[in-house]
Amino acid sequence: NAGVTQTPKFQVLKTGQSMTLQCAQDMNHNSMYWYRQDPGMGLRLIYYSASEGTTDKGEVPNGYNVSRLNKREFSLRLESAAPSQTSVYFCASSEWALDPTDTQYFGPGTRLTVL
Amino acid sequence: SQQGEEDPQALSIQEGENATMNCSYKTSINNLQWYRQNSGRGLVHLILIRSNEREKHSGRLRVTLDTSKKSSSLLITASRAADTASYFCATDAIYNQGGKLIFGQGTELSVKP
């Protein structure tokens, strides 16, 4: 099993460009998440999907949109990239977000630079 | 806003020594989890401790939880160079119906051979 995969691994954008980060999991998990990680800030939740067909905002959703394409895939879109969105983006999945003992499995990350 | 805050932010020790990292949080929780992140990689779940537990062990890891002080500690015994990584605590607040975890800023551990 590949676990959680993310593409691309690295990306450089110019201000105003758009792009979509892809995430897929093969663990038959119900819940998926997008985080960003900035130096000294830990991980901050952007959006999550507790189950197929639902998405909800996290702590820092502005400037992003998400699509839960199916149970396996959860994409993150930047419509008009800004330098403040330079970060490392992590996708994660878990069996069931509403279970208090749920633990998350992370992908390897996408390092995004916006010039 | 950050629910969990780790202390210290960075820790450097020699191989064989014990490493202790602390986490404080603000609101009542169901569980507290610890994750590890190797440089340039995603996070990996280490251990979960429930709010009604005071101590939990897993191999060389020992986690304690003091809900009255809203704090937890992670002890790594007999550290190895391979333990070099960042360690994060994550909490799910009782009021949180969405199952979201809130991560702290992490402790960067360096174990020198």
pLDDT digits (tens, 9 = 90+) for B8-53: 999 999 999 999 999 999 888 889 999 999 999 999 999 999 999 9
Say what the pLDDT of residue B1 is: 46
B106 touches chain A (CB under 8 A): yes
Q: Which residues of B touch A109 (CB under 8 A)?
A: 40-42
Query: How do beta strands B43-50 and B19-25 pair?
Result: unpaired
Say what the pLDDT of residue A42 is: 84
Q: Which residues of A touch B42 (CB under 8 A)?
A: 4, 90, 92, 106-109
Interface contacts (A, B; CB < 8 Å): 64
Report the distance separating Cα A68 and Cα A75, nearest Å. Answer: 7
Q: Do B30 and A100 touch (CB under 8 A)?
A: yes
Q: Do B97 and A98 touch (CB under 8 A)?
A: yes
| pLDDT tens, position by position, B74-104 | 999 999 999 999 999 999 866 665 567 889 9
Report the distance separating Cα A4 and Cα A91, nearest Å. Answer: 7
